[in-house]
């Protein structure tokens, strides 16, 4: 068993969360007994802007986010620790917006270049060693779906961040203080071991069978990419909504990053979502899940709907895209969307998953693309046909969207060439593997 000398705690709770206090107190007590060096960061008190998805941390300032705020302190502290512990309310099966915003900024810790890990494309190591990962979540009561997604997400994060050991645990409201202490003691002991926590199976995302058809009247598209109009998410969602509009559906598009700093715009979004018959969320994959800014909006939508329950049936659909060639890497994020749908009172209308989206679409309107986009357009057209009739997305468009378009070996070669070419514009092509946070 390795001796853990330095531990970093990233607390993704908010001050008004009553479940956070007993967990945090028990953890700090256990670490005090162990005599380790602890650095504690309450993320809600730090200045961390949303990740902009520009990849400057790989090509302009290699190994460091181009945004000079507290994200750099978090990233440096994490890679220089032996163990990192996340604290978070389990949020639709994922992390809180506070924690996820910080986690999104961890990608400078890996290389832009690619490697095969567990049969999938992932980014290569940037550093020789990475900290062990332990994540403690809490829920008001047992929720099998939320817990299953949560454990699977932690497992996936461990793969991407090369964690030597990965441990996750969930605490429920009302758990006896002594039981919390015992659970945390066990998790800490496991984190110091040499074995990974077994992979938690991702709960099945089942799309309901089509009920009686009806004519969809209105739909709102939520674009969850910081690139806005020039994003792949916008290109995919816009093409779907063009097909809906052609079928007589009244459509509206809201780009989520434009509403985050405006209470007025946020209120307008909440009201638009409440009025629509269909809500579609289009987003890029960020560290195995939804971007932190998107989680923030979903938290607000769920809270609003608890106080203002919908007075008519509503469907929720999702379109996820990632840069990796395997569309299956979006599965955890789509499971979170499905779980959000359940918890926020929507009917799940299905999800579409695109792998290699950056290489194929790159924010270009689909109508301007060549034949490589034909399956994508066909998928969205078939999905629109079903959604306009009030039906969930059927299997055929799901399969079309998720088709792999490039073999892994070729993706690795083309990806490496692409990163080097982009880096030339900043004169950094020979610095892409730099380690700015390496300890002397």
Mean pLDDT by 10 residues, the chain (440 residues): 82 94 97 95 98 96 98 98 98 99 98 94 97 98 97 97 96 96 96 78 81 86 97 98 98 97 96 98 98 99 97 96 96 98 97 92 92 94 97 97 90 94 96 93
185 by Cβ neighbours in 10 Å (0-12 / 13-18 / 19+) ranks as middle
Q: Given this model, what pLDDT does residue 212 score?
A: 62
Q: Which two tokens stand for residue 143?
A: 């929720």
For residues 187 and 245, state if they share a domain. Answer: no
Give how many domains the chain has, as a whole number. Answer: 2
Residue 62 lies in a domain: yes
> Residue 214 has what pLDDT?
81
Torsion region of 322: left, alpha or beta (phi above 0 gives left; psi -120 to 50 gives alpha):
beta
* Domain co-membership, 249 together with 310: yes
- Domain containing 324 equals 218-401
- Would 369 be classed as within a structural domain? yes
213 is a domain residue: no
Q: Does residue 135 lie within any of the structural domains?
A: yes
Q: How far apart are CA 62 and CA 429, in angstroms?
A: 9
Query: What three-state secondary structure class fits 166?
Result: strand
Give yes or no: residues 244 and 150 share one domain.
no
Same domain assignment for residues 160 and 235: no
Pairs from 257-266 (Cβ < 8 Å, separation ≥ 24): 257/50, 257/225, 257/226, 257/228, 257/293, 258/228, 259/297, 260/50, 260/293, 260/296, 260/297, 266/297, 266/300
Which one of 191, 210, 243 terminates a domain?
A: 191
10 Å Cβ neighbour count for 352? Answer: 26
What pTM value is reported for the model? 0.96
Query: Is there a single domain that holds both residue 226 and residue 85?
Result: no
Please report whether residue 434 resides in a domain. Answer: no
Query: Which residues, in sequence order, are CB contacts of 158 under 8 Å at separation 6+?
Result: 133, 165, 166, 196, 197
Give the pLDDT score at 246: 98
Burial of 75 (0-12, 13-18, 19+ CB in 10 A): buried
Same domain, 310 and 169: no
Residues 245 and 113 in one domain: no
The CA distance from 305 to 213, in Å, is: 25
Q: Tell whether 206 is covered by a domain.
A: no
Question: Which residues does 296 contact at the CB level (< 8 Å), separation at least 6?
Answer: 97, 101, 260
Residue 292, SS3 per DSSP: helix
Q: Which two tokens stand for residue 102?
A: 């910080």
Instruction: Mark whether 327 and 386 lie in a shared domain.
Output: yes
pLDDT score, position 210: 66
Question: Whole-angstrom Cα distance, residue 77 to residue 262?
Answer: 32
Q: What is the CATH number of the domain that holds 127?
A: 3.40.50.360
Of 23, 10, 17, residue with least CA distance to 179: 23
In angstroms, the CA 357 to CA 172 distance is 38
**pLDDT value of residue 165:** 94
In a domain, 211, yes or no: no
**Are 77 and 223 members of one domain?**
no
Tell me, yes or no, whether 129 and 222 share the same domain: no
**What pLDDT sits at residue 200?**
83
């Amino acid at each position: 068993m390795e001796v853990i000398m330095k531990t970093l705690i990233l607390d993704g709770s908010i001050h008004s969360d009553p479940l956070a206090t007993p967990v945090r107190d028990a953890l700090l007590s256990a670490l005090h007994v162990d005599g380790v060096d602890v650095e504690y960061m309450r993320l809600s008190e730090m200045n961390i802007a949303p990740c902009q998805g520009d990849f400057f941390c790989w090509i302009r300032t290699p190994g460091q986010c181009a945004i000079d705020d507290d994200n750099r302190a978090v990233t440096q502290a994490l890679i220089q620790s032996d163990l990192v512990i996340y604290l978070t309310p389990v949020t639709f099966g994922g992390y809180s917006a506070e924690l996820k915003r910080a986690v999104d900024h961890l990608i400078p810790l890996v290389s832009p270049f690619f490697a095969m890990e567990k049969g999938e494309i992932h980014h290569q190591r940037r550093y020789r060693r990475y900290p062990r990962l332990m994540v403690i979540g809490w829920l008001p009561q047992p929720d099998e779906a939320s817990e299953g997604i949560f454990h699977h997400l932690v497992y996936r994060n461990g793969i991407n961040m090369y964690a030597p050991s990965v441990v996750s645990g969930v605490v429920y409201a009302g758990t006896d203080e002594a039981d919390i202490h015992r659970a945390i003691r066990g998790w800490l002991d496991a984190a110091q071991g040499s074995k990974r926590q077994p992979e938690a199976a991702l709960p099945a995302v089942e799309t309901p069978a089509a009920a009686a058809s009806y004519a969809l009247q209105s739909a709102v598209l939520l674009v969850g990419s910081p690139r806005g109009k020039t994003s792949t998410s916008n290109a995919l969602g816009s093409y779907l909504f063009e097909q809906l509009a052609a079928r007589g559906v009244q459509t509206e598009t809201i780009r989520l990053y434009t509403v985050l700093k405006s209470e007025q715009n946020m209120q307008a979004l909440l009201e638009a979502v409440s009025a629509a018959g269909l809500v579609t969320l289009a987003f890029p994959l960020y560290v195995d899940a939804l971007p932190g800014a998107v989680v923030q909006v979903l938290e607000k939508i769920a809270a609003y709907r608890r106080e203002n329950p919908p007075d008519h049936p509503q469907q929720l659909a999702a379109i996820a895209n990632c840069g990796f060639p395997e569309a299956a890497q979006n599965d955890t994020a789509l499971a979170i969307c499905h779980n959000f749908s359940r918890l926020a009172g929507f009917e799940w209308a299905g999800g579409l998953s695109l792998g290699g989206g950056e290489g194929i679409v790159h924010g270009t309107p689909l109508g301007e693309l060549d034949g490589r986009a034909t399956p994508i357009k066909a998928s969205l057209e078939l999905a629109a046909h079903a959604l306009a009739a009030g039906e969930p997305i059927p299997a055929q468009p799901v399969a079309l969207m998720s088709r792999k378009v490039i073999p892994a070996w070729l993706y690795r070669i083309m990806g490496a060439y692409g990163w080097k070419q982009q880096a030339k514009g900043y004169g950094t092509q020979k610095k892409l593997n730099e380690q700015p946070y390496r300890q002397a």
